[in-house]
Each structure stands twice: as C-alpha cells, then as structure tokens.
Structure 1
Amino acid sequence: MAPQTTIPTLHSLSHSQAHRCLWMLEELSAVDPTFKFNLKNYPRKVPYNKDLLTVFRLGKSPIMTLETTDGSPPPLIQFEPGVLTEAKSILEFINEEYASERWTPTSPEDKRRNRFFCEFATGTLAQKNDFTLIFEILGQIAPWPLSWLYRLMGLPMTMRFKSDLQPVFQILDDALSEEKPWFGGAEMGVSDFNMNWGMEVAVQRGYCDLSKYAKLRDWYERVEKREPKKRAVERGGKMDLVWFGHKGTKFKMEELGASGQKKVD
C-alpha cells in the first residue's frame, strides 16, 4: 500500500448506507494495520439529524471528509474540497486511493462482471427495494388511524414490487458458483460491498427468503461472518432496516411532512 497523504473521516448516520463504507474501511485496516481513518457516528433524529448539514449541505449519509497529512488544503475530489458523498463513489475512492485497487479484479472477465454487479446493486436491486419500502413505510410509521389506511392502500403496490424482486434474487443466485463465489468473481470485489446494502434491506424486511436461494444465502452468511464486517457493526452499530431505529416512536404529522412520509436517508 502507498503511504497515506490524506486521513479520511467517515460521517456515518445510524442504520444507513454508510455501513458498507465502514465495512470496506475495516477490511482495509485488517490487511494494512498502518492505514488510518476516523469514524464519527450520528444517531437518527426526527425529522433528520441536522448535524450532518454542517459537514455537507445536503446532510445525507454517508459523507467522507479528508484531512491531509502535511497540513495542506484538502484535495478536490468531487464537488467541494475534501468532501466525498454517495456510497458507491466513496467505495470507489477508498479502493483506488488507499487500497491500491485491491477489490478490482485482475482478469478482464471478472473486471466486467464486477462493474456490472456494482451497477446492478445500486440500480436494479436498490431501486426495487426502495419502491417496496416506500409503500410499506407509510403504513408503518404514520399515526393511527392513517396507518391502517396507508397499509391498505399500499398493499397492492407492495405485493407487486415484492414480486418484481424475486427474479432479481434469482439472477444473483445464478451468478454465484464455487469458481466465482463473489460478485467480483473469484475474489471479493467492490460489487460485493455495494451489494451488501441492498441485500441487508431485502433480508431484514423480508423481501428475500434466503432459503430459496442457496448460493445467495451462502454469500450473505460469508459476508456476515467476516471479522471486519463484525468490527463495522461493533463500531458503527447494528443496522435496523425495518424501523431504522425508530420502533415505538410516535410521529407527528408535521414531522412526517406534508406528504405524510418521514424522511429516510
């Protein structure tokens, strides 16, 4: 690994996509003990945690900031000096800048495969998860008596999107084998980090029944058993993607917003 010229700080909102970025940072720390990074955790608040707005104007997690090791001004990577946002982009930066592309496959075939599953994870899987979640979460968090009405109204669309997800899981299952147990191919790739978020959502919310997809289940369990993944959970907190840490919270309509939907990062 090349000597660090910047020290990253991950600004991580609980129960958010920052978790996959923290996992990669922990993986890198496991193979390179000299690698340094900082972590700042932010709890979820109603309607949102305003402290993140002081880090980047959108206030959305994950955010990664950079501090140079020689005290010079931070580099411009995306839009503002020393600030990176968007989980997929942050993962790519960590892999290229700090890990010497450790999670970029070497063979042309696996390189193309890795690129495809990065897009599949953050596009197809994440998008269909979000469609399902939107119709579910209104009935889940809205105050009574609106909650039962939202559940009833959203049920047809929820069932439709859950059904749409099943071919997605089948494709993921079909892509895995003894020769290529990772979405990156023979070895773990950036795509596996990206895929983790969508699969965590799908499994926790009951969209994916892993008993129906043996190879996908093995991949999921293999990830969860990795020591750096466990370390990410210890440092960043266990993810609750059913209630996003708000189980039992009674929301007021003004907190949910005019549309009745609570803001979820």
Structure 2
Amino acid sequence: MASPADSRKDEVAKAGLPILYHLDTSNSQRILWLLEELGIQYELRASTRQRQRAPAALTKVHQLGKAPMLTTADGRTIIESPVIVSYLLTTYDTNGLFTSTDPIRTEELSSFATASLGPVTATEMLVEILVEQTPWPISYLTKAIRGRVRAEYTSKEFEKALGYLETELGENEWFGGERLGKEDFMLSFPLDVMVGRGWVHLEGRYPRLEAWRRRVGEREAWRRGLKRGNGYDVMGLGRT
C-alpha cells in the first residue's frame, strides 16, 4: 500500500512541474529570477514571514523548514540555493544560455556569495538588530558594540569583498563574461542586502558593480520574478 508521501510524489511527477517554496524578502528571490530567465513552467508556493521566521508549515516539505526549497518534477526536495541553482541550470538550460566557460571560477564566485559574504552579512545584521531591539539606556552599550564590530571586522571585510568583485567583473557585463551565469544569480542577494541596508555604497568607488546591479534590475526576468513574488524589502529583514 502506497504511503501518503508516495502519493504526493506521484502527484508531483504527473504534474511535471518543479515547485519553488518561496519566502518573502529572502534569498529565494534569486531562484525566482533564475526560473523566469529559464522561461519554464513552475509552481510557486509563497510564504510570508512570521516574526521573521519561515512558517512552521514548511517543515512538512523538509524538516529544516527553510526557504528556498525546490521540489523537482519527480518529487525530490532540494535545499540550499547553490544546489537549487545548479540543478535548475543542469536540468533546464537545454540551450546552454548560462553555460560557464570557466566552471572553477564560476564555483569560486558562487561559493564566495555564501561562504565568504554570508558570515559577514549575518554578523552585520545581528549587531544592527541588537541595537534596534535593545531598550534605552542599554542601547548605548549595544551601539558601542556595533561600532567596534563594524570598525574591526565587517567594514573591512565588505571593502575587501567589493574590491575583489569589482576586479573579477572587470569590463564584462556579467561575472561570466557576455552571458549570465550561476555566479550572477548567487551574488545578487548578498549585494542587494549590503547595498539596500546602507552597509556599503557603490557609487564612485565601485562603478562596475553599480552598473552590474543596474543591469540586473533592468532584466525583464528579474522584474517578472519580483512581480510573482510576495515582497522583497531588504530593509524589513530582522524587524518584528
């Protein structure tokens, strides 16, 4: 006798569509962008944050209960943005529109978006939230802590990261050269957060990155992804 899980898997397989479990104002926005660039049919199941957390219902899809998650057409659930991006490109980029000419470099930049930028942005977010949610007069202490963390760690790391990315982009339109690639999708979210929350300023110092972000925002697929999603306000992250 088939289990409920097997029945659900069969239903997904018959539908033949991947399902994206999406959370508002999260890194799954870049997955929406990629899906729109690929031009494939997919099902979107969007959730809204509840006290800055993903709703508990997502644990029914995967025990971690975090977005993004992608359920494939044959019923397998994939977590972690880099893996989801790789799967979608391998499975659906049949014309090689986003094929990398330097796979090692592509993986370096894609990993940099999470392994290097991730901890720094998380630290900056933490100290910022700490200040915003600490009552007076303790907030004087937390502001001092935030100042030291920024001076001794996050600001320096942001500066090194932006200098590196500015150099890697060079005179190209995209990080992979003339065509979009995995690294562009992966880097979009951390840069949106860094710039959107005012932690860094690209104007004047990093003109290539500034132009890259403008090109991303001008793409029709990016705009369609924003329209299909349920909100993308990086200033709202961490606020109850």
Q: Partner of 1:103: helix, strand, or coil?
A: coil
User: In the alignment, which residue of structure 1 is the partner of 2:37?
Assistant: 27
* 176 and 141 in structure 1: CA distance in 2 versus 1, 3 angstrom threshold: same
Amino acid of the residue matched to residue 207 of structure 2? Answer: A
User: In the alignment, which residue of structure 1 is the partner of 2:80?
Assistant: 86
Match of 1:214 among 195, 207, 214: 207
Amino acid of the residue matched to residue 24 of structure 1? Answer: L
Amino acid of the residue matched to residue 202 of structure 2? Answer: L
The structural deviation recorded for 1:177 is 3.0
The structural deviation recorded for 1:239 is 1.6
TM-score w.r.t. the length of structure 2 is 0.85
* 185 and 115 in structure 1: CA distance in 2 versus 1, 3 angstrom threshold: farther
The structural deviation recorded for 1:98 is 1.3
Match of 2:63 among 50, 57, 68: 57
Match of 2:44 among 33, 36, 39: 39
How far apart, in 1, do the equivalents of 2:17 and 2:162 lie? 37
Is the contact between residue 113 and residue 185 of structure 1 (CA under 8 Å) also seen in structure 2?
no
Q: Partner of 1:57: helix, strand, or coil?
A: coil
User: In the alignment, which residue of structure 2 is the partner of 1:15?
Assistant: 25
* 83 and 142 in structure 1: CA distance in 2 versus 1, 3 angstrom threshold: farther
Q: How many residues align?
A: 223
Is the contact between residue 12 and residue 61 of structure 1 (CA under 8 Å) also seen in structure 2?
yes
How far apart, in 2, do the equivalents of 1:90 and 1:208 lie? 28
Amino acid of the residue matched to residue 123 of structure 2? Answer: F
Q: Partner of 2:82: helix, strand, or coil?
A: helix
User: In the alignment, which residue of structure 2 is the partner of 1:263?
Assistant: none
The structural deviation recorded for 1:36 is 1.3
Identity of aligned residues (%): 30
Is the contact between residue 56 and residue 83 of structure 1 (CA under 8 Å) also seen in structure 2?
yes
TM-score w.r.t. the length of structure 1 is 0.77
User: In the alignment, which residue of structure 2 is the partner of 1:261?
Assistant: none
Match of 1:96 among 90, 93, 100: 90
Q: Unpaired segments of 5 or more residues in structure 2?
A: 1-13
* 158 and 136 in structure 1: CA distance in 2 versus 1, 3 angstrom threshold: farther
The structural deviation recorded for 1:125 is 2.0
Q: Unpaired segments of 5 or more residues in structure 1?
A: 30-34, 69-73, 75-81, 250-265
Is the contact between residue 19 and residue 236 of structure 1 (CA under 8 Å) also seen in structure 2?
yes
Q: Which structure has the highest helix share of the two?
A: 2
User: In the alignment, which residue of structure 2 is the partner of 1:141?
Assistant: 133
The structural deviation recorded for 1:114 is 1.7
RMSD, aligned α-carbons: 2.1
Q: Partner of 2:175: helix, strand, or coil?
A: coil
2:220 aligned with 1:227, yes or no? yes
How far apart, in 2, do the equivalents of 1:42 and 1:164 lie? 32
How far apart, in 2, do the equivalents of 1:96 and 1:169 lie? 29
Amino acid of the residue matched to residue 219 of structure 1? Answer: W
User: In the alignment, which residue of structure 2 is the partner of 1:190?
Assistant: 182
User: In the alignment, which residue of structure 2 is the partner of 1:205?
Assistant: 197
Q: Partner of 2:18: helix, strand, or coil?
A: strand
How far apart, in 2, do the equivalents of 1:131 and 1:16 lie? 17
The structural deviation recorded for 1:116 is 1.8
Is the contact between residue 19 and residue 45 of structure 2 (CA under 8 Å) also seen in structure 1?
yes
The structural deviation recorded for 1:155 is 2.2
How far apart, in 1, do the equivalents of 2:177 and 2:104 lie? 10
